[in-house]
Amino acid sequence: MGLIYSNTDLTSSSLVFFFSLLIISPSTQQKRRSEFGKHCNFSNGETEILESILPSDAYDEQYETKKHTATGVDTTPHYSESEVNTERVVLKNTSMQHVEGGWPKDVDPTEQTDVKRYRKKVEKDEEFQFAMKTLVPRVQRCMKQNNTVNIYEEYFQEDNDTDHCSESPFAKGLAVFRDPSDVLTRSATSVNWHPEGSNNGKLAVSYSVLNFQDERLNNPNLPSSSYIWDIKNSNKPIVELVPPSPLSCLRYNPKSSDTLVAGSFNGTISYYDLRKQPNGTNGKVQPALSSVVEKSHHDPVADIFWVSSKTGHQCVSVSTDGQMLWWDTRKLEEPIDSLILTTDSKGGGMTLGGSSLEYNTEAGPTKFLVGTEQGIVLSLNTRNKKTNNGITVFDADSGKHNGPIPSIQRNPTHTKYFLTVGDWSARVWTEDLKVREECVIVWM
């Protein structure tokens, strides 16, 4: 081992090096096995110079001056910066129409019997009565506040003639769904949206030729298929319905959106289950069940609706042959009930052909509205079959339409009002008036 000492006061030519050399004796030293692993025992002693080397100028030529080097040092911590592309978040605006309140799980709001039973149970509860006593004063105070301020008051009557709208309202077509059949041009006889609405974006369309003695009906190549479309893709339908006869109307099952019921041109009823689509059929679906011609309508089915039932498999159809038939889609061999659309069930009445049908569970699970070819509106209540089979005839004189009624629909909010369209006019009716000849309230 060598130790070097330097004196910084001397010049480069007079450096003094002191080396202490440890001379190892070539003699062999022996050590016992028991002394292995013991700690060294160091002790202080006198300093002893083993070798002294005097200054010499012989190595001056080999001396090199070290160049100065600038080095920066700081105490600031260093950070690294990196960028990452995260998954894009897609934002969209959604809304919800609150129609029904928060019902328990065991209560189906579409079943009127369950709703009435639950309401009677709640109304008998003491907590409900106490809550009503608490809420009534608050509602009365809010109503009085509304009456103190005229919310319809016009503050700027002088500027009523000024039109502040920059552009007139307009509607823009987003997509066109054309009949995929290139053989003949057919009419879209019925359009029905998927029960889930805009969340699903599907609609079923039936295509047929309903003109009496039309030449196209004699064509053997007349297609009979109807289609289900996706509103995001108008180029090709997603499902093709292949019925035994062209469909004149169809409707989704509101309780099971994978099933449909349809009425055909030959008067039969077909039931479709989209879950039973065979593999390799390119989206073609055959009817799971179909009614027989002998026990079906004798004219094309005008309209069809699913009715409220415990099983969720019952539907009702109407046709211009004057019959209204109830069906169970689990067995379509024959209808489970039938009714003749006549103005007087005792005899002497006129049989009417049904051209449109309306059914809304909010108005009542047993109430139906039928528009006829003769322009007369019929109201049916199956609970009151003792009186004219439950049929009530609305204005059959001056208030009726002068032609067939192709469409009839209830007001979704106030179900006692309904709208009919026919003979280039639209009329609003009400069920509250006792005199049926005066039930038309608006003509357009």
Q: Cα dist. 89→83, 84, 92, 362 in Å? A: 17, 15, 10, 40
Average pLDDT of every residue of the chain: 82
- The predicted pLDDT at position 160 comes to 58
Q: How many Å is the Cα radius of gyration of the chain?
A: 47
Contact (CB, 8 A) for 288 and 271: yes
pLDDT at 82 over 60: yes
pLDDT tens figures, 176-195: 888 888 767 888 999 999 98
E strands, 253-345, in order: 259-264, 269-273, 284-285, 289-290, 301-306, 314-319, 323-328, 337-340
- The predicted pLDDT at position 368 comes to 94
Nearest to 273 by CA among 332, 231, 318, 317: 332
Mean of pLDDT values over 98-117: 78
- The predicted pLDDT at position 198 comes to 61
- pTM (predicted TM-score): 0.62
